[in-house]
């Protein structure tokens, strides 16, 4: 068989060679409580190709797709229009099937677009250098924390209470392996935070998201000053990259490292991935950047060329001695990002951001006028939080029945927080028409009446 080439005799010989009586002997260290036999899974019998296609189609039909309804969900993943030319170009075989560009002599196209991607990310974030992308925004944030620990040689990490909980969880998962203290500020939806009191001489970094998970915009300057006064670094997290077309860049507000999610440019929602993590920092920290760096150089004949630089694959496979164990990047998603942003240009990107903000302002004003709805986010880009008179999860379910995907209940992100039960996080983008907004407002009024 093509994919199962070993015969029973082959397996028997291999087991005998290592002194095992059966396959089960290879799993003796697994606790018995964690072992489930074939009967425990109760899997159905196999189906033919046509049967599988019909079955999956029935399952897919149970979903309400973002493009089939008035869509106002955000909370870290945003629906933006992606030009058809983006998908057309990234599906060219030389992009779609290309692998790691270790051999620059045959990878100039890949290396060049990675170099251009880095340039775009550095400009958007207001930083001096950027890498060739990471897996997504949350892993970029975790890598930023580990980088800050290496630079400062400290272990304590301070997290904003309004940091997206998925990002906070990823940071904690990675950071716990290295030890050290992680302190999270109290959560204050729609309000500012007092983080300075949590920073001391043992703090490696402070992680702040703007716009935060509730949509609130933050001035990073005061917290940057407080962090720097104690010798700590400020890590700025951005989950909605389109916001950087309108609000001041994190680098201009004193951030030392920026970790962002680039999905909003060139990449669809895709049920949560694959996405593209953006990572940028100051030039003085260049040697501590995780992942790949594409550089511009000249060959022996003086012709311009591109190459992976400053680190090798081997640097990232040295276990605990490695700068990072992420030795790859989201290449195709980074290319989609680069193509889309190139098509927009600087002026087009700014107009896109202004359109997002205008749509969100219109939506917020319309919804806040409804009885039983309170807008609790005083300043926002394209996302804000409402406090409802009823539990938000039930309201979202009722809105779905009306053909509106009305947002993300905060209880899905903060299940242990009683205050979150009535909070609804709502986003508006350029894909929302005036009719969509009116449809949402009428549906919400009916549900809450």
Mind listing the domains of the chain with CATH numbers? Answer: 69-81+345-448 (3.90.1150.10), 84-340 (3.40.640.10)
Give 62's contacts (C-beta < 8 A, 6+ positions apart): none
Over residues 435-444, the mean pLDDT reads 98
Give the C-alpha separation, 362 to 367, whole Å: 9
pLDDT at res. 313: 66
Q: How far apart are the first and last CA of the chain?
A: 63
* 158-211 tens-digit pLDDT: 999 999 999 999 999 998 887 889 999 999 998 988 899 999 999 999 999 999
- Model confidence at 122, pLDDT cuts 50, 70, 90, reads very high
In this model, does residue 146 exceed pLDDT 80?
A: yes
155 vs 317, which has greater pLDDT? 155
Q: What is the mean pLDDT of the chain?
A: 94
pLDDT at res. 284: 97
The answer to whether the beta carbons of residues 166 and 138 sit under 8 Å apart is yes
Q: Average the pLDDT over each of 80-94, 314-328, 352-366 and give the range with the smallest value.
A: 314-328
Bridge partners of 295, per DSSP, are 307
Give the C-alpha separation, 220 to 236, whole Å: 8
Radius of gyration of the chain (CA): 25
Q: Whole-prediction pTM value?
A: 0.89
Give, to the nearest 10 degrees, the angle between helix 434-448 and helix 392-401: 120
What percent of the chain clears pLDDT 90, i.e. is strictly above it?
82
In this model, does residue 56 exceed pLDDT 90?
A: yes
pLDDT at res. 320: 73
Strand 423-427 to 408-409 pairing: antiparallel
Over residues 358-367, the mean pLDDT reads 98
Give the C-alpha separation, 216 to 446, whole Å: 28
Over residues 309-320, the mean pLDDT reads 74
């Amino acid at each position: 068989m093509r994919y199962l080439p070993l015969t029973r005799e082959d397996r028997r010989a291999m087991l005998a060679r290592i002194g095992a009586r059966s396959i089960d002997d290879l799993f003796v260290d697994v606790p018995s409580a964690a072992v489930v036999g074939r009967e425990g899974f109760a899997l159905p019998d196999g189906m033919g190709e046509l049967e599988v296609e019909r079955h999956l189609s029935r399952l897919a039909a149970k979903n309400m797709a973002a493009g089939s309804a008035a869509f106002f969900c955000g909370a870290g993943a945003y629906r933006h229009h992606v030009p058809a030319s983006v998908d057309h170009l990234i599906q060219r075989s030389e992009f779609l099937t290309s692998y790691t560009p270790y051999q620059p002599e045959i990878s100039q196209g890949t290396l060049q677009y990675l170099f251009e991607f880095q340039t775009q990310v550095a400009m958007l974030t207001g930083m001096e250098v950027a890498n060739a992308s990471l897996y997504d925004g949350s892993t970029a944030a975790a890598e930023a924390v580990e980088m800050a620990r290496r630079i400062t040689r400290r272990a304590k990490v301070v997290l904003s209470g309004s940091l997206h909980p998925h990002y906070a969880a990823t940071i904690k998962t990675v950071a716990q392996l290295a030890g050290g203290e992680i302190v999270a500020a109290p959560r204050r939806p729609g309000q500012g935070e007092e983080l300075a009191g949590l920073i001391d001489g043992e703090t490696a970094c402070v992680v702040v998201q703007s716009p935060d998970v509730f949509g609130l915009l933050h001035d990073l300057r005061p917290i940057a000053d407080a962090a720097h006064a104690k010798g700590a670094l400020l890590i700025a997290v951005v989950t909605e990259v389109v916001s950087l077309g309108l609000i001041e860049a994190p680098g201009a507000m004193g951030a030392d490292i920026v970790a962002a999610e680039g999905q909003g440019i060139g990449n669809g929602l895709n049920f949560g991935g694959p996405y593209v993590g953006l990572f940028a920092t100051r030039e003085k920290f260049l040697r501590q950047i995780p992942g790949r760096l594409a550089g511009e150089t000249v060959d022996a004949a003086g012709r311009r060329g591109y190459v992976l630089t400053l680190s090798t694959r081997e640097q990232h496979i040295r276990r605990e001695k490695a700068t990072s164990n992420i030795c790859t990047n989201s290449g195709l998603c980074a290319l989609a990002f680069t193509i889309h942003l190139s098509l927009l240009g600087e002026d087009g990107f700014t107009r896109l951001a202004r359109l997002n903000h205008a749509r969100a302002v219109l939506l917020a004003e319309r919804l806040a006028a409804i009885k039983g709805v309170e807008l609790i986010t005083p300043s926002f880009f394209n996302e804000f939080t409402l406090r409802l008179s009823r539990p938000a999860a039930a309201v979202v379910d009722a809105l779905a029945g009306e053909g509106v995907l009305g947002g993300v209940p905060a209880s899905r992100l903060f299940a242990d927080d009683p205050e979150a039960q009535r909070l609804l996080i709502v986003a508006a983008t350029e894909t929302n028409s005036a009719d969509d907004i009116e449809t949402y407002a009428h549906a919400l009024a009916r549900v809450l009446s």
